[in-house]
Amino acid sequence: MTTLFIADLHLSEQRPAITEQFINFLNKEARQARALYILGDLFEAWLGDDCILPGYEEIIQSLKDLTDKQVPVYFIHGNRDFLISNRFSELTGCQLLDELTVITIDNQQYLIMHGDTLCTDDVKYQQFRSMVRNPEWQQQLLSKTPAERIALAKQYREISQTETAQKASDIMDVNQAEVEKVMRASKVTTLIHGHTHRPNIHKFELDGQQAQRIVLGDWYEQGSVLRLKDHQFELETLS
């Protein structure tokens, strides 16, 4: 059977066609899969399990329908939906994983992650990430009303868009030394991640062994999926 990996869907009510494509994916191909791994940024924004934004209910129900069919769905937090917590897991049946997780499929081990921590050259982003991942900061945010959270998220998004436009492209990509560091620490030769929106399969040598870093595509204009079957990877754009 095929194992599926996706990331960076950025689902929101502003992009209903992509939401429809994702739900069709869940109802068709994903139902035949061994498992589905979602490596972060499933949603454009997630402001707490008690603040489900318009348009998300159908997505949540479709995930629940899939897990009810005994297809395991695993989720790793992204930089947009890091506030997803246990209530989301209860509503969808998705299993929440650590931000760096080694999985074993057919006796082969793979490291999976969202990928933002690999972009160590983007110092400003890493500082922002440290702030929003602080439990005290998160508790302060979650104590605000939904309207206040939405306004704050909009403000942060506008700042991020302005700063991103001013950054050099290579700064926002992964740092190869950091890639090798985390792979070495996890004792793997294959890393799968999203975040950069630069789908590709990168081959390189790691400590005398052939290694690969597989980058998942985003779902802004069309879907993107990585399939693993019989130890072979296929990275494809969904029309």
pLDDT at residue 184, rounded to an integer: 98
Q: Hey, what domains does the chain have and what are their CATH numbers? A: 3-121+169-238 (3.60.21.10)
**Banded model confidence at residue 161, pLDDT cuts 50, 70, 90:** confident
Does residue 153 have a pLDDT over 90? no
CB 71 within 8 Å of CB 33? yes
pLDDT at residue 173, rounded to an integer: 95
Region for 163 from its dihedrals, namely left if φ exceeds 0, alpha if ψ lies in -120 to 50, beta otherwise: alpha
Comparing CA positions, the residue from 186, 80, 184 lying closest to residue 129 is 80
Does residue 89 have a pLDDT over 90? yes
pTM for the model: 0.95
Q: What is the mean pLDDT of residues 216-229?
A: 96
Determine the longest span between alpha carbons in the chain, in angstroms.
54
The letter for the amino acid at 171 is: I
Look at residue 239 and give its three-state secondary structure: coil
pLDDT at residue 42, rounded to an integer: 98
Q: How far is CA 158 from the centre of its chain?
A: 21
Sign of CA dihedral 94, 75, 101, 30: positive
pLDDT at residue 201, rounded to an integer: 97
Does residue 82 have a pLDDT over 90? yes
**Banded model confidence at residue 181, pLDDT cuts 50, 70, 90:** very high
More confident residue, 190 or 165: 190
Q: Two tokens at 25? A: 């994916």
CB 6 within 8 Å of CB 216? yes
Mean pLDDT of the chain: 95
Look at residue 125 and give its three-state secondary structure: helix
Q: Which residue has the tokens 């992009």?
A: 15
Cα 99 to Cα 78: distance, rounded to the nearest angstrom: 8
Cα 219 to Cα 28: distance, rounded to the nearest angstrom: 17
Q: What is the mean pLDDT of residues 56-77?
A: 98
Range 185-204 burial, b when 16+ CB lie within 10 A, else e = ebebbbbbbbbbbbbeeeee
Cα 114 to Cα 173: distance, rounded to the nearest angstrom: 13
The letter for the amino acid at 55 is: G
